[in-house]
Chain A
């Protein structure tokens, strides 16, 4: 019952954003050049940005794109971290050592260059959506090592827990042990990792704009809107500049509420 309220709020948010996008008279890329950084008005509910584009529509579109991209990427990276960590914990010593070695090497390398290579392999005329997908995918594939180590250590401790031994003795197969016992105990590691990934990937996507990746213009980027807050001139121009971050905090609170209610209680 309790889980339903945050999920309802999330659904309302997504629905609201979709309706804003479809019903608004302005597209997300339309530049009203006579209304640059305009204050909120009946025409533009939350004003316009520095190119005269309606902020409400752009924030709505950014929310949908960013939420989809960052949460899928976060889910993928968390799954990879979980799979890697569990594989290492349940393998023999040699394989575990090799896997942990691989994750340590991963952590030490400057992956920015791989991102540059990825951009150079894509055609320059790749659409903004294609570069967005490529960016989130690459972020998902590179974000797992740190958490994998933590999952490995956590799983190693749980491997020899009494209830694991009993479950094994009762005839439960590895898959069942994993699903029914191990994963729930790893939730305290995996769910925060997913929650942290969301804003981290949004901002990373925006920062990767400097390498030619990220969500290309004129598609709105949630991360880029968050990064606008580093400019005091922007902060002074309008209070609506804070709208993207308020929405992000709301989304994170909703996701956190869902995850808190899903975790097992003693």
Chain B
């Protein structure tokens, strides 16, 4: 599974969004879903990087 990192969304919030289908899933499994979906989402938005830094510079 993906390496452990700070979750972008809590397990509780995720369960609310997933609905009743997620009831049989353990917290660990929900965490894994969040991590994987975050990795996929990040990959999609990667093309727009870099986001940080001072790109506006006064000469």
A and B are interacting partners: no
Binding site for A on B (CB under 8 A): none
